[in-house]
Amino acid sequence: MQIQSGKRRWGSWLLVGTAGLALLSLAVLPTPAQAPAYKAPKTKDGKPNLNGIWQAMNEANWDIRPHAASQGPVYALGAAYSAPAGLGVVESGEIPYKPEAAAKQKQNYTDRLKLDPEVKCYMGGVPRSTYMPYPFQIIQGTGNVMIVYEYAGAVRVINMGAPTKAPADSWMGWSNGHWEGESLVVDVTSLNDQTWFDRAGNWHSDQLHVVERYTAIGPDALQYEATIDDPKVFTRPWKMSMPLYRRMEKNAQLLEYKCVEFAEEVLYGHLRKQPLKGDSK
């Protein structure tokens, strides 16, 4: 018995060690995508210049995992709003859900029209806001860095000074950033449990801790990496990564997508005095 429990103890240490190593490798080792030693032009205060309007060009907002094309949740919308296939952005392909958490994701997917915070115009949270199908803009100040998202007008101001603690949980979380060589590294905590990773119902709890890295890989592309840790939901930390592309059209600019008015029928339509007849035209 003693030997067995001793074995177990060693086993668990081994596990912790492996997990630690895995964490370390996530945090320290450059990924192949980062390997090309591109160096971004510098701002006048000597930092890699990440200013710009950026957007993901992938299918991660449908499902961050590898997925085949599938029928959308509203038959009336036909092929126009069904889900295109995507290679996924999760580095190992699979999200290491605990068994009960995996079951909840499946239920979320079934009920996605009712539950997806995107349908309700709720702020996208981190990291989802990065790869929703809308541009976002990095305004790299000489002090803090502001990231403004077109979707829902969400915004984060990344504190680049001494790290501070969040007063409470919020939709976009609390961001403390610093520079590591060519990368802007942002530690995001105090995210609430109301946001999802995608339209497929991939989810997290309020224990979510995200470490983001933004690294220029060319004049008009960034590599975005997010290490996801949430011990309530996942068996280990995991990582997603994807390129982000500069919006290059003449006078490219962030427009408004203040989507509240587009979600009011979904949220409050059942409380109307006179129900609306038919769909919007």
Partner 1 sequence: MRRHLLSSLIALVAVGSLAIVPLAAQSQVAAKPAPAAKAWTMPRTPDGKPDLQGVYSNATNIPVARPANLGAKEFYDSEADKAASAAAGGGGRGGRGGPARPAAAADPEGNGLAVHYDTSQFGLGGPTVKRAASLRTSIITGPEGRVPAVLPEVAKAAQERRANQQAHQWDSAQNRPLAERCITWGFEGPPMMPVGYNSTLEIVQGQGYVGIVQEMIHDTRVIPTDGRPHGPAEIKRWMGDSVGHWEGDTLVVETVNYNPLVVIQQQQVSDAAKVTERFTRIDADTITYQFTVDDPKTWVKPFSGEYNMVHIDGGLYEYACHEGNYGMANNLSGARATEKK
Q: 221 to 240, contacts with partner 1 by CB under 8 A? A: none
Interaction of residue 258 with partner 1, rule CB under 8 A: yes
Q: Which is nearer to partner 1, 65 or 156 (CB)?
A: 156
Q: Which of 137, 202, 215, 223 binds partner 1 (CB under 8 A)?
A: 137
Nearer to partner 1, 22 or 166 (CB): 166
Q: Which stretch binds partner 1 (CB under 8 A): 23-31, 37-45, 82-90, 229-237?
A: 37-45
Looking at residues 72 to 111 of the shown chain, list those that interact with partner 1 (rule: CB under 8 A): none
Tell me: does residue 219 bind partner 1 (CB under 8 A).
no
Which C-beta is closer to partner 1: that of 153 or that of 243? 153
User: 234: which DSSP letter?
Assistant: B
Contact status: 271 vs partner 1 (CB under 8 A) = yes
Judging by beta carbons within 10 Å of its beta carbon (0-12, 13-18, 19+), is residue 210 exposed, middle or buried? buried
For residue 213, the cross-strand partners are: 185, 225
Identify the residue whose tokens are 């080792």: 29
Q: Rounded to whole angstroms, how far apart are CA atoms 68 and 87?
A: 9
Distant-in-sequence, close-in-space partners of 273: CB < 8 Å, separation ≥ 6: none
**Which CB atom, from 2 or from 274, has the smaller least distance to partner 1?**
274
Phi, psi for residue 114 in degrees, rounded to 5: -85, -30
Distance CA 96, CA 230 (A): 10
**Residues 142 to 161: which contact partner 1 by CB under 8 A?**
142-146, 148, 152-155, 157, 159
Given a contact cutoff of 8 angstroms between Cβ atoms, the answer to whether 239 and 228 are in contact is yes
101 or 145: whose CB is closer to partner 1? 145
Q: Is 164 in the site for partner 1 (CB under 8 A)?
A: yes
Residue 168 sits in the site that holds partner 1 (CB under 8 A): yes
3-state DSSP assignment of residue 61? coil
- Single residue of 140, 202, 223, 227 touching partner 1 by CB under 8 A: 140
SS3 content of the chain, % helix, strand, coil (to 5): 25, 25, 50
CA distance 53 to 5: 56
Say which residue the tokens 């829902």 belong to.
152
* Residue 55 CB, nearest approach to partner 1 (Å): 15
Residues of the shown chain interacting with partner 1 in the complex, contacts defined by CB under 8 A = 43-45, 49, 51, 121-123, 137-146, 148, 152-155, 157, 159, 164, 167-168, 170-172, 174, 194, 251, 253-256, 258, 260-261, 263-264, 267-269, 271-274
